[in-house]
Amino acid sequence: MGVTNNAKSVIAANMTGSALSTHMAVGAGSTIFSASQTTLVSEWDRNSLSSVDTATPYEVTLICDFTPVEMSGLSMREFGTFTLGSVMLNRETVTGSVVFDGEQGLQIQQTFKFYL
């Protein structure tokens, strides 16, 4: 997983409750990940998280759902997680692309594990 430089600040802020992961976005950008990136290369759609699970110690699982209508026509090559203030925490790229024709929705589930 490619975690951005901004993620360090956001993780620290989360410990005080001043910044939270709130959204995921999907896009068509295919460039290699860089820790200095602040946006997806070619964002297609962005949604609020469907759920956040913090039941397991030192882990947080984020789930975001996208409907078939939202995904229709996208050749997905990237996705990322954002704060309410639109700070990008991570960007993932997909090998090749996943093409959506209006029949398929998408659910992204990301688990962040913190090791002491």
The pTM for the full model equals 0.84
Looking at residue 3, what is its pLDDT? 76
Looking at residue 8, what is its pLDDT? 65
Looking at residue 58, what is its pLDDT? 78
Task: List the domain range (segments joined by +) for residue 29.
Answer: 2-113
* Banded pLDDT at 113 (limits 50, 70, 90): confident
3-state class (DSSP) for residue 10: helix
Tell me how far apart the alpha carbons of residues 91 and 18 are, in angstroms, rounded to a whole number. 22
Contact 44, 60 (CB under 8 A): no
Domain count, the chain: 1
3-state class (DSSP) for residue 2: strand
> For 36-50, what is the mean pLDDT?
96
Q: Which of 9-18, 58-67, 71-80, 104-113 has the lowest mean pLDDT?
A: 9-18
